[in-house]
Each structure stands twice: as structure tokens, then as C-alpha cells.
Amino acid sequence: MTENASSGLEIGRQAMRAEATAIEIAAERLGVEFERALEIILAANSKLVICGIGKSGHIGGKLAATFSSSGTPSVFLHAAEAIHGDLGVYQPGDPTIVLSKSGSTAEVMRLMPMFKKFESPVIAIVGNTDSPIAQAADVVLDASVEKEADPLNLMPTTSSTVSLAMGDALAAALVKARGFTAEEFAAFHPGGQLGRNLTMQVGDVMHPSDRVACASAEDTLREVVILMTRFPLGAACVVDSHNKLQGIITDGDIRRLLSGDGDILSKLVGDCMTQSPISTHSNVGLGQALRIMEDRPSQISVLPVLEEGSSQFLGLLRLHDAYQPSFS
């Protein structure tokens, strides 16, 4: 590694540590004003407006999305566009969060009297609690930082991160205060992998037993390999005469056995299978099943699906299927 590359790596680490430290310091400053901000938002029977410009505006846009997805309807108001018609988003009493590092952003300052006309209580997240915006606000949250994380101490890095963390802290506290549930969260996130994990169950994506290689303990590995070729799902499930799961043998198991000595293909499956494998049920959430497969020292790629309360074999879930969008 070159000297410049090494120096760049260390600067990157220092920047991340500086931002982490600043968040910890800001967390310790939270107090009565934070609780007042929560009370204002909870008391409103309307949406939350988040206003800013520049880097603070980008943070505001993200926070508006976070609040909206977690039970607090919210919109972002660009401070410059507001005075050209976007103030029409307001209804009387809509609370507003304004973001400004300096606390004297001209576009935001121009809006402060307007917020009063809309009877909008203002929560200011600012880097200067003695600033004009702070003095005009109803509640002030101190997002000040000692310095920015970049070598020039100019780029909004630490300051924007602290503002973001403070907004996220409000959103998290509101989730708890509203009793917002995972089911409600899922209703707002029907798309993407997050939506799949929250709204789908194992039974929605598993391969049913009649489409899985199912063998008996008395079958030979040769017979199982033929079955696994017919049903190429990465594993064969070993069941008894009552279709109760006894074990599993995977592609990886076959490869490891083939690397040994002797006539491997004539071995009995019962002597080679993994007995009592990790399994799940058809009504388990897809996200929970993924955690079973992935949150372990050695990830597993296939998961037998059993009838709840018994060892009756229902099907097989593959890691690939859990991530594969369904078009049916």
C-alpha cells in the first residue's frame, strides 16, 4: 500500500470516529427540549413538515421519509421553493422541524414568521442555539459539533450526521410512543426485500414436498443423486414411510463424500445424512426464516419445512428463493 493510500485510509477512519463521537456527545445533551418536541408532534392531528436547504435539506428529505414510514405522516419542504408556492402544503397547526447548521440560513429565517401565521409550532435542529432561528423556534435541539470530520473542517459531515441522528432519535421515540407495530410497518413497505421479509411467510415461497427430492434412509447415494438431478434444489430430504423428516443430505455433503475413498455411491443415505436438521414451519415469517439460515457461524442454504408441532415434512425453502422476487 502506498503512503498516500495509507494516509487516506487513516483519514477515513478518523472521520468516521469523529462523527461517532459527535453523536455520542449530542445524545448526552438530549433532555427536556427533546421531550417537548415529542409532545408537540404527538399532539398534532396532522402531518409533520420538515424544512431545510442545502445539505440540511438532503437530511430533511431523508427524515421525512423515515417519519412517514414509521407512523408519523411527514413531508419535506424545500426552504427556497416554499416562498414560491410550496407553503400551500400547510394546514393550520402542522408542526415543523427546521434544520440549519448555522441557525441563520437566510431562506429558513424568511420562513419563520410564515410558520407563525400557520400556527405551526417549530422545532429547530440547529448547530448554534443562540442563533436567530433558535430564538424564533418553540423548541431547540442542540446539534452543535466541535468540528467537521473533513481535513478542511468545512464540509457538512459531522454536523449533518448529528442532525440526521437527532431526527432518527425523534422517529424512534415516536414509534415507541405511538405503539407502532411491525405489522403497521409492513403495510408501508410492501416492496423490496424488506417488504418480502415482513409480509410473506415460508409457505408462500417454499417448494412443496412433491417437488423436492425425497429419499428413504435405505436408499443408496446413487439413487439419491438421481433424485437430486431430477429435483435440483441443492438437497434431498430423508423421510420415513409416514413422510416424517429423518434427515437431510445436501449437494455439499455429496461432494465431500465423493472426495473420500471407496465406493461412495453404494453407501446408504441413512449412514450419510445429517440427522434432525435445522428446520422451520410454513407459517413462519420469511424474515425470521432468513435469520435462521444466515445468522449463524456457518450459513445454511436450504431449510426443511415441517408441519407445526410435528415432524411431518411439507417442503423445502432455499436461501435463493427467499431473495428471489415472485412474479406469480
Cα(146)–Cα(64) distance, rounded to whole angstroms?
A: 27
* Mean pLDDT value across the chain: 90
Cα(326)–Cα(328) distance, rounded to whole angstroms?
A: 6
Indicate the pLDDT class of residue 6, thresholds 50, 70 and 90.
low
Per-residue confidence (pLDDT) for residue 327, from 0 to 100: 42
Residue closest to 157 by CA, chosen among 305, 311, 15, 278 = 15
Query: Cα-Cα-Cα-Cα dihedral of 168, 169, 174, 176, to 10°?
Result: 120
Residue 233 has pLDDT above 90, yes or no: yes
Answer for the pair 36, 139: CB distance below 8 angstroms, yes or no: yes
Phi and psi dihedrals of 77, rounded to 5?
Answer: -115, 115
Query: From edge to edge, which strands make up the β-sheet containing 245-250?
Result: 213-215, 235-239, 245-250, 274-275
CATH 3.40.50.10490 is the classification of domain 3-180:
yes
**Which residues touch 119 (CB under 8 Å, ≥6 apart)?**
92, 93
Q: Which residue reads 427533546 in cell numbers? A: 34
Q: Tens digit of pLDDT for each residue in 15-58?
A: 999 999 999 999 999 999 999 999 999 999 899 999 999 999 99
Task: Say which amino acid occupies 21.
Answer: T
CA 268 vs CA 220, 231, 238, 255: distances in Å: 4, 19, 11, 16
Q: Tens digit of pLDDT for each residue in 187-226?
A: 666 656 566 666 678 988 899 999 999 999 999 999 999 9
SS3 state of residue 223: helix
Write out the E strands in the chain.
48-52, 74-78, 96-100, 122-126, 139-142, 207-208, 213-215, 235-239, 245-250, 274-275, 280-281, 302-306, 313-318
Q: Which set of grid coordinates corresponds to residue 250? A: 445436501
Q: Work out the average pLDDT over 103-125.
A: 95
Cα(122)–Cα(106) distance, rounded to whole angstroms?
A: 16
Cα(52)–Cα(55) distance, rounded to whole angstroms?
A: 8
* Fold for the domain defined by 202-323: CBS-domain (3.10.580)
Answer for the pair 111, 79: CB distance below 8 angstroms, yes or no: yes
Q: Which residue has the higher pLDDT, 104 or 322?
A: 104
Would you kindly state where each structural domain of the chain is located, as residue ranges? 3-180, 202-323
Phi and psi dihedrals of 314, rounded to 5?
Answer: -110, -35
SS3 state of residue 268: strand
Q: Tens digit of pLDDT for each residue in 245-297?
A: 999 999 988 888 888 766 778 889 999 899 989 999 999 988 888 888 888 88
Q: What would the 3-class secondary structure string for 6-32 be?
A: HHHHHHHHHHHHHHHHHHHHHHHHCCH
Cα(186)–Cα(158) distance, rounded to whole angstroms?
A: 32
Beta bridge partners of 268: 220
Per-residue confidence (pLDDT) for residue 328, from 0 to 100: 39
- Give the chain's length: 328
Q: What percent of the chain has pLDDT over 90?
A: 70
Q: Which residue has the higher pLDDT, 263 or 177?
A: 177
Q: Which residue has the higher pLDDT, 205 or 324?
A: 205
